[in-house]
């Protein structure tokens, strides 16, 4: 990206969460829903995932304005059977629907050893590693995935046929959990948005233009490419089966066959290690596994062998000290939203 240090503004976590929540409340979100959404977005910024951070706020407010996000939603559990529950989120903000799903999955796992919650009709849920981490913080293995309309090329096709459906898995330790948080695309769509905000270019293998040709201009991207070709598009398709078809709210077939957007869905699984074996022994073994991987000799040009989530934690530690950087484009768009609602912009961003 071509943005310079001069273009970047830095703000502390608490101030950014407060400003973000205020913008969302002004845009129609209920205060508690705005707080949960702001926390999710800033979590992403703190860990270096600008693509899923506060740059999303103007779009969330726009979605709330035309009803794509239901700011008065009343999520309800429509079915519970043993360790399985189905939540109809009623198009609630993604952070709200997914939080309700993880709470239910953890509750069920406490009773049955495993809990699965299908969360249909959520809205964009941001960086889903946040939700997997929340489960790991309660001493359980957390698995989260979400699905949406076609945004990504299906391998072998000229046009988009599946979504960038992400998958996150977190395992607890006595310290920071292991967190795998990945998109099934070569890159998350939000990273292309971030490149556009920063006024930069993108690698040619990130996306294609309307004619299906590779492009380095983020403003011309029509669809993103899958991670590892058939592996990425195949995994995305199966997440659609688990998150959407299983829950009774298919997205891809409806979008391709009926040209209709049926929204977003999610799936959360919590696994209680204590019902399979000894909880403390499990934690010991996860930590032993982590130490074994960290002890591997680094490849040429690599300073350190990193565990899943380790890079994000390191960035978060640094940003708690120096502030969270926001690109000029993101600051401009947030300031424009604040002006629209007569809100003060934090002085560090002006």
How many residues in the chain?
Answer: 350
CATH of residue 121's domain is 3.30.1370.60
- What DSSP line would sit under 306-343, residue for residue? PPTTHHHHHHHHHHHHH-EEE-HHHHHHHHHHHHHTTP
The pLDDT value given to residue 194: 82
In a domain, 81, yes or no: yes
* 11 touches 334 (CB < 8 A): no
pLDDT tens-place string over residues 38-60: 999 999 999 999 999 999 999 99
In a domain, 211, yes or no: no
pLDDT, averaged across the chain: 95
Q: Are residues 251 and 108 in the same domain?
A: yes
* pLDDT category of residue 279 using cuts at 50, 70 and 90: very high
Across residues 334-342, what is the average pLDDT? Answer: 97
The pLDDT value given to residue 2: 46
Which active-site residues does the annotation give? 124
| Strand pairing category for 141-147 and 207-208 | unpaired
Q: Are residues 133 and 20 in the same domain?
A: no
Q: Is the pLDDT of residue 1 over 50?
A: no
The CA–CA distances, whole Å, from 58 to 27, 72, 131, 170 equal 9, 19, 23, 30
For residues 267 and 85, give the distance between their C-alpha atoms in angstroms, rounded to a whole number.
Answer: 10
* pLDDT category of residue 90 using cuts at 50, 70 and 90: very high
Q: Are residues 36 and 131 in the same domain?
A: no
For residues 289 and 276, give the distance between their C-alpha atoms in angstroms, rounded to a whole number.
Answer: 18
Q: Is the pLDDT of residue 73 over 70?
A: yes
For residues 161 and 201, give the distance between their C-alpha atoms in angstroms, rounded to a whole number.
Answer: 25
* 78 touches 86 (CB < 8 A): yes
Q: Are residues 175 and 242 in the same domain?
A: yes
Closest by CA to 139, choosing from 113, 168, 165, is 113
Closest by CA to 57, choosing from 93, 15, 101, is 93
Q: Are residues 104 and 121 in the same domain?
A: yes
Q: Are residues 266 and 314 in the same domain?
A: no
In a domain, 300, yes or no: no
Domain that holds residue 348: 1-72+309-350
CB half-sphere exposure, 304, CA atoms < 13 A = 8
Closest by CA to 64, choosing from 118, 12, 23, 120, is 23
The pLDDT value given to residue 101: 98
> What are the structure tokens assigned to 103, written together?
């709470």
- pTM, rounded to two decimals: 0.92
Strand partners, 208: 214, 223
If one compares 325 and 7, the residue with the highest pLDDT of the two is 325
In a domain, 120, yes or no: yes
CATH of residue 65's domain is 1.10.1530.10
């Amino acid at each position: 990206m071509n943005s310079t240090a001069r273009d970047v503004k830095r703000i502390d976590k608490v101030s950014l969460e407060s400003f973000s929540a205020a913008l969302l409340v002004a845009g129609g979100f209920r205060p508690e829903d705005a707080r949960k959404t702001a926390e999710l977005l800033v979590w992403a910024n703190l860990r270096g995932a600008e693509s899923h951070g506060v740059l999303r706020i103007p779009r969330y407010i726009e979605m709330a304005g035309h009803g794509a996000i239901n700011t008065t939603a009343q999520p309800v559990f429509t079915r519970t059977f043993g360790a399985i529950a189905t939540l109809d989120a009623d198009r609630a903000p993604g952070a709200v629907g997914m939080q309700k799903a993880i709470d239910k999955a953890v509750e069920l796992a406490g009773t049955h050893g495993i809990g699965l919650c299908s969360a249909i009709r959520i809205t964009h849920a941001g960086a889903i590693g946040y939700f997997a981490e929340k489960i790991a913080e309660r001493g359980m293995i957390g698995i989260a995935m979400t699905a949406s309309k076609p945004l990504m090329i299906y391998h072998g096709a000229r046009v988009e046929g599946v979504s960038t459906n992400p998958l996150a898995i977190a395992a607890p330790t006595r310290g920071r959990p292991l967190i795998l948080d990945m998109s099934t695309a070569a890159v998350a769509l939000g990273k292309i948005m971030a490149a556009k905000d920063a006024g930069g270019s993108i690698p040619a293998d990130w996306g294609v233009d309307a004619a299906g040709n590779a492009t380095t201009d983020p403003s011309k991207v029509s669809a993103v490419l899958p991670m590892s070709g058939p592996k990425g598009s195949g995994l995305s398709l199966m997440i659609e089966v688990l998150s959407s078809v299983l829950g009774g709210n298919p997205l891809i077939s409806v979008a391709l066959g009926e040209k209709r957007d049926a929204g977003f869905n999610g799936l959360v699984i919590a696994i209680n290690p204590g019902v399979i074996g000894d909880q403390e022994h499990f934690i010991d073994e996860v930590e032993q596994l982590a130490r074994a991987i960290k002890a591997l000799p680094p490849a040429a040009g690599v300073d350190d062998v990193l565990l899943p989530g380790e890079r994000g934690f390191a960035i978060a530690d640094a940003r708690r000290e120096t502030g969270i950087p926001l690109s000029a484009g993101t600051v401009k768009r947030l300031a424009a939203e604040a002006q629209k609602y007569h809100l003060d912009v934090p002085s560090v961003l002006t």
